[in-house]
Amino acid sequence: MSTVAVVPGSFDPITLGHLDVIVRAANLFDEVHVLVVHNPGKTALIPISRRVELIEEALADARVRGDVRVASWSMGLLVDYCTDVRANLIIKGLRGQNDVAYETPMAIVNRDLANIETIFMLPDPRNAHVSSSLVRQVAGLGGDVSPYVPANVKTFLQGGMDTTITS
């Protein structure tokens, strides 16, 4: 039986911390789905379709080995997607105690709803402080985001970004 894992997130934008978790998951599991999800509690900066493209480009640049697929999901529960692709696991990166407090109830509910386990992965310490919202703030104020995001995302944020807010 193959192990299929889903790494969900808003990835608005993808950071080096996200990429680190995805690469490590790709080395551990047979198939990894990076799933860009719509978070109704957040106002997105980058359209979902563009986030998918940025992730695909970052993965290609990082030469990620393994079966990694990028998709989006905006309707229904995460566990519905997991069931559709026969995923056994959800992978979540945790930066600190706030993430643990936020993610733990969701992990329990996902297990209750669909018997899908969640595995928490700690980030590389160099990325433990990086969040997409921090990157958006630094980029929006003209700061250098290169220590925090893949090169293609830096280029997008510093030049080619359409600032229209969409989901």
Is 154 labeled as catalytic in the residue annotation? no
Please state the separation of Cα 153 from the chain's center in Å: 14
Q: What is the CA radius of gyration of the chain?
A: 15
Tell whether 44 is in a known binding site. Answer: no
Three-class SS of residue 43? coil
Residue 74's pLDDT band (cuts 50, 70, 90): confident
Tell whether 103 is in a known binding site. Answer: yes
- pLDDT score for 165: 41
Catalytic residue among 95, 136, 146, 167: 95
The pLDDT tens digits of the residues spanning 95-138 come to 989 999 999 999 999 999 999 999 999 989 999 999 999 999 99
Is 95 labeled as catalytic in the residue annotation? yes
Domain boundaries along the sequence of the chain:
4-155
The CATH homologous superfamily for domain 4-155 is HUPs (3.40.50.620)
What single-letter amino acid sits at 27?
Answer: N
User: What's this model's pTM, rounded to 2 decimal places?
Assistant: 0.91
The pLDDT tens digits of the residues spanning 27-62 come to 999 999 999 998 787 789 999 999 999 999 999 998
* Paired strand residues for 72: 36
Tell whether 95 is in a known binding site. Answer: yes
